[in-house]
Amino acid sequence: MLRLRPFAALFLLPAILILPLSAAQTGPATAPAEGVTTLPPAAITPTPTSAVTPAAPGVAPTPALPSSTSAPAPVVPGNPVVPVPPPASSGSASETRATPQGTPLPEGSEPEKSVVQIITAYQEPNWAAPWIFDSPHFASGTGFLIDGNRIMTNAHVVAWTKQLLVRKYHDPQRYFATVEFVAHDVDLAILKVDDPKFYEGMKPLQFGELPQVRSQVVTYGFPAGGQQISYTRGVVSRIEVESYAHPGNRAFLAVQTDAAINPGNSGGPVIQDDKVVGVAFEGLVGLQNTGFFIPTTMVRHFLTDIADGTYDGVPDSGLQMVSLQNPAFRDMLKLPEDSKRGVRVDRVMDIPSTEKLIKVDDVLMKIGDYDVDDDSTITYHGNTVGASVAFDLAQNNSTIPLEVWRDGALTHVDLPVKVYHDDYAQGNQYDTLPPYYIYGGLVFTPLSLDYLKSVGSATTQSGGRELIYELVYRHLEDPGHWRPQPVVLSSILDNEVNANLTTRGQALVDKINGQRIDSLSDVPKAFASATGPFDVVEFMPDHHFEVLRHTDAQKATPDILSTYSVPAQSRL
């Protein structure tokens, strides 16, 4: 996979925003991942924080950036962020059965019978006050039946769901569904419906291959603007590695189409020749006729992964690769003069198995079965795509054969690849409730992208910049001071034991009672280790500290929890 540095994108690049496309009324706040290009200063069009605006029904909200001070706002009908075109057919249900004119569907095929609307009731936690949950919201997306009585959809359609209902084509009944598998990294999920009646009259859709650029595709879904199924037709515009907005810090192969893909289309099939060639999942704000679907390359990867009953994820090569087109650089690495092949390893991540086998300045000439060109691309099914795709085809714990140019000679390396979790906090997190620990009214929680989004920590404030730097850049620039899980004093629940504290939240914790805090689990241990009458909390980077009277803070904690209706002192 291509790893992304979310904050670089958050603050530099979002001239265009990538949105998941569930028809969320107030959907999950999602950070846009790194965009296509880095623009020179004059050309950079920043994302105003006011982009977090009320969304119309069926319109995904603009991502809430850490610099934003507002949370996703409630629905304001008739004031869409993204204009929602009417469905392809706005007539009666029977009329919508008709095959859209000009589509490449063969006669008699009725894929729409296998397409369902998914209605989710979801509730997100508040990362700044982790024991609190936002109000439940409702949103809708699309799914489709595949082999094994499974419904495929996007992960972002079912994220934080509390209840899932599915509605079949031409069937007023709603069926309860549950999530069987979810892959947040590739934004895919599998649902199950227990009621056997649900499957009556439905045929599983079959998957096709990667479509050709300029070929026609048709999307099926339940986008905003109407109640019935909608079809839109378009061509495959290009096939490239794109950022996946749902995880926020991952990029995989994606297909761009000019077929209208709108909020509510999420999870719907994109069909060509009666076969599913992709799953609609995101669009770009600010560009016209630009929707994206997840190609079957990634869908098959997901299905293969879950065959053993567990989803592992897409493994990471642990390599940052860059093009190698400069003649002097190629000369320095002693590459043959007439060669136009090879991508240079620019950085090796701290994955021991990778660090052992690959070095910076290695040149990857071949990844798996794919020759690599000097512009960091491979040819995949006739398309020029990023070389990272060759790694993304591998399953977790597999080995990828590499042809490596090193020290002026060709060598062979079998690189084991595993799923990388260490940058979890830098992306959007799902399914696991945010941990916290409360002592004397002081609320401690791990630093994460979700936390920054919750508090709206701004780049214009020095405190906000410290938090962002700690999360994203500290381990890169200052590994000696890196902490596995930086902890923040998120907020303070007011009480007389903490009334005189000057720090009220959003502060990075350095030490407690003299003990370095590397992760949240260190916090209760450090408070328990107090030997004197005081608890001392030290902050970074300016040596500020706060003092509590230990016995008072201990004694007050249960009352504080009760006063503020906090169900438990910790979730570690």
Partner 1 sequence: MVLPGHLIITTADGLNDQTLIRLQKQGGGLFSLGRLLWIDYQSNLAALTTDESDFWNGLTPAALADPVPVNGEVRIRRWNSDRLENRPGDIERMTVDNSALSFVSVPALKVDSTISGASSGEAVTQGNKLLGLASGQDSDVVTAVPSSFISFTVAARKKGTFHGLGYFDFTWEPVENPLALQYLGLPGPARGVIVKDTGLKPGVTSLIHSRDVILQIDGFDIDAEGDYADPQYGKMMLENLSSRQKWAGADCKIKVWRDGKEQTIDYQLPRADYSDELVPEQSFDHPPDYVLAGGLVFVKLSDAFLRSWGANWRQHAPFRLGYYEIDKVKPDRSEIVVLSGVMPARVNLGYEMLHDCVVQEVNGVKIGKLADLVAALKSPVNGFDVFKFAPGESMEMAVLDASKIDETNQEIMTKFHIPADHVLSGNAATASQP
* 12, 121, 419, 561: which one binds partner 1 (CB under 8 A): 12
Q: State yes or no: residue 108 binds partner 1 (CB under 8 A).
A: no
96 burial level (CB within 10 Å; 0-12, 13-18, 19+): buried
Catalytic residue among 187, 362, 374, 522: 187
Q: State yes or no: residue 324 binds partner 1 (CB under 8 A).
A: yes
* 67, 120, 228, 257: which one binds partner 1 (CB under 8 A): 67
Q: State yes or no: residue 327 binds partner 1 (CB under 8 A).
A: yes
Contact 454, 134 (CB under 8 A): no
| C-alpha dist (Å) from residue 501 to 491, 506, 511 | 11, 13, 16
Strand partners, 329: none
Please count the residues of this chain forming the interface with partner 1, following the rule CB under 8 A.
55
Closest residue by Cα to residue 260 from 293, 300, 233: 233
Q: State yes or no: residue 571 binds partner 1 (CB under 8 A).
A: no
Q: Which stretch binds partner 1 (CB under 8 A): 33-41, 158-166, 280-288, 487-495?
A: 33-41
> Between 41 and 102, whose beta carbon lies closer to partner 1?
41
Strand partners, 253: 241
Q: State yes or no: residue 316 binds partner 1 (CB under 8 A).
A: no
Catalytic residue among 266, 388, 490, 491: 266
Gap between the terminal Cα atoms of the chain: 30
Closest residue by Cα to residue 453 from 72, 138, 156, 162: 72
> Between 298 and 472, whose beta carbon lies closer to partner 1?
472
Q: State yes or no: residue 242 binds partner 1 (CB under 8 A).
A: no
* 424, 549, 554, 561: which one binds partner 1 (CB under 8 A): 549
Contact 246, 235 (CB under 8 A): no
Q: State yes or no: residue 86 binds partner 1 (CB under 8 A).
A: no
- CA 262 – CA 232 distance, rounded (Å): 10
Residues contacting residue 567 through CB under 8 Å, at least 6 positions apart: 131, 561
Catalytic residue among 137, 156, 475, 550: 156
Instruction: State the nearest-atom distance from the C-beta of 11 to partner 1, in Å.
Output: 4
Q: Is 266 a catalytic residue?
A: yes
Instruction: State the nearest-atom distance from the C-beta of 321 to partner 1, in Å.
Output: 10
> Between 305 and 538, whose beta carbon lies closer to partner 1?
538
Q: State yes or no: residue 44 binds partner 1 (CB under 8 A).
A: yes
Q: State yes or no: residue 11 binds partner 1 (CB under 8 A).
A: yes
* 126, 237, 289, 325: which one binds partner 1 (CB under 8 A): 325
* Main-chain phi, psi angles of 193, to 5 degrees: -120, 125
Q: Is 94 a catalytic residue?
A: no
* 121, 322, 357, 419: which one binds partner 1 (CB under 8 A): 322
Q: State yes or no: residue 395 binds partner 1 (CB under 8 A).
A: no
Contact 507, 445 (CB under 8 A): no
Q: State yes or no: residue 384 binds partner 1 (CB under 8 A).
A: no
Q: State yes or no: residue 92 binds partner 1 (CB under 8 A).
A: no
Instruction: State the nearest-atom distance from the C-beta of 409 to partner 1, in Å.
Output: 18
Q: State yes or no: residue 547 binds partner 1 (CB under 8 A).
A: yes
Q: Which stretch binds partner 1 (CB under 8 A): 164-172, 197-205, 362-370, 499-507?
A: 499-507
Q: Which stretch binds partner 1 (CB under 8 A): 144-152, 259-267, 304-312, 538-546?
A: 538-546
Give the single-character DSSP code of 43.
G
- H-helix or E-strand spanning residue 344: strand 343-348
Closest residue by Cα to residue 445 from 517, 514, 516, 499: 517
Give the 3-state secondary structure of residue 537: strand
- CA 175 – CA 377 distance, rounded (Å): 45
Q: State yes or no: residue 502 binds partner 1 (CB under 8 A).
A: yes
* 23, 52, 343, 548: which one binds partner 1 (CB under 8 A): 548
Q: State yes or no: residue 176 binds partner 1 (CB under 8 A).
A: no
> Between 50 and 173, whose beta carbon lies closer to partner 1?
50
Q: State yes or no: residue 174 binds partner 1 (CB under 8 A).
A: no
- CA 140 – CA 444 distance, rounded (Å): 35
Site for partner 1, residues 466 to 485, rule: CB under 8 A:
466, 468-469, 472-473, 476-477
Q: Is 535 a catalytic residue?
A: no
Q: State yes or no: residue 536 binds partner 1 (CB under 8 A).
A: yes
Q: Which stretch binds partner 1 (CB under 8 A): 17-25, 37-45, 78-86, 445-453?
A: 37-45
Q: State yes or no: residue 360 binds partner 1 (CB under 8 A).
A: yes
Beta strands in 291-331 (DSSP E): 291-295, 319-322
Give the 3-state secondary structure of residue 559: helix
> Between 233 and 344, whose beta carbon lies closer to partner 1?
344
Q: State yes or no: residue 197 binds partner 1 (CB under 8 A).
A: no
- CA 131 – CA 129 distance, rounded (Å): 6
Q: What amino acid is encoded at 3 in this protein?
A: R
Q: State yes or no: residue 287 binds partner 1 (CB under 8 A).
A: no
| C-alpha dist (Å) from residue 561 to 117, 443, 471 | 42, 11, 29
Q: State yes or no: residue 511 binds partner 1 (CB under 8 A).
A: no
CB atoms within 10 A of CB 317: 30
235 burial level (CB within 10 Å; 0-12, 13-18, 19+): middle
Going by their DSSP bridges, the two strands 383-386 and 487-492 should be labelled as: unpaired
Closest residue by Cα to residue 531 from 517, 543, 555, 515: 515
* 187, 305, 450, 546: which one binds partner 1 (CB under 8 A): 546
Q: State yes or no: residue 326 binds partner 1 (CB under 8 A).
A: yes
- CA 275 – CA 220 distance, rounded (Å): 12
Q: State yes or no: residue 83 binds partner 1 (CB under 8 A).
A: no
Give the single-character DSSP code of 125.
B
Give the single-character DSSP code of 249.
S
Give the single-character DSSP code of 211.
P
Instruction: State the nearest-atom distance from the C-beta of 93 to partner 1, in Å.
Output: 48
Q: Is the peptide bond before 541 cis (omega within 30 degrees of 0)?
A: yes
Contact 148, 159 (CB under 8 A): no
| Catalytic residue ranges | 156, 187, 266
The residues of the shown chain that bind partner 1, judged by CB under 8 A, are 5, 7-8, 10-12, 37-38, 40-42, 44, 46, 49, 67, 320, 322-329, 331-332, 346-347, 360-361, 459-460, 462, 465-466, 468-469, 472-473, 476-477, 500-502, 534, 536, 541-549
